[in-house]
Amino acid sequence: MVVLNRIYTRTGDDGTTALGSGERRKKYDLRVDAYGTLDEVNAAIGIVRLHTAGDARLDAMLAHVQNDIFDVEADLCILDDSKGKGPGGAKLNVTGKQVQWIEQQIDALNDGLPPLRSFILPGGTPAAAYMHLARTMCRRAERLMVELRDQPGEEVTPEAIQYVNRLSDFLFVAGRHVNDRGEKDVLWQPGQNR
């Protein structure tokens, strides 16, 4: 587990930050950008939860997702087996089980939603608007992760990318769910303002 007994360390004053292995990277490093963007997603989901507290089932899903996002960040932050041990002593990587779980949640939330007849504009309810904000941040994190994976000498686990890809789908479907099961979705009207 992580122990934080002092919040400021002054070690980042030179524009670098430490990965889980202790290796220092520039704060604008692609790996740091990827897990920092996931941190933004997690914060936006925290705002969503303020608006969905009355839906215990969805709130439990979102709490689970927030924890899994930290697992993805750990997966990105820890490059070797020296630190960041999870339960059982193994390096903390995202697993296929986590990907499968989020797929099941997508299916559960999507069940009974009316089919889409157009693209959805972010809006409807505050929860849905914030869900879409989190979704767009999530897509940015995914782009960064794929770009990082494609860099020479860098590695991103396939399951981490799969999870983040499914997470954006989850946030989209959950946005429809909180929009009165799609009834309050704001649909794009192509060419409406020409």
pLDDT tens-place string over residues 103-161: 999 999 999 888 888 898 888 999 999 999 999 999 999 999 999 999 998 999 999 99
Output the pLDDT for position 10. Answer: 65
CA 182 – CA 180 distance, rounded (Å): 5
CB-count exposure of residue 183 (10 Å: 0-12, 13-18, 19+): exposed
Q: List all residues 6 or more positions away from 55 whose beta carbon is below 8 Å from its beta carbon.
A: 178
pTM over cut 0.85 = yes
pLDDT tens-place string over residues 54-106: 999 999 999 999 999 999 999 988 876 544 555 555 568 899 999 999 999 99
Residue 183 has pLDDT above 70, yes or no: yes
Q: What does the mean pLDDT of the chain come to?
A: 86
**Domain boundaries defined on the chain:** 24-182
Matching CATH number, 24-182, of 3.20.20.70, 3.30.70.20, 1.20.1200.10, 1.10.3720.10:
1.20.1200.10
Contact 165, 153 (CB under 8 A): no
CA 25 – CA 62 distance, rounded (Å): 31
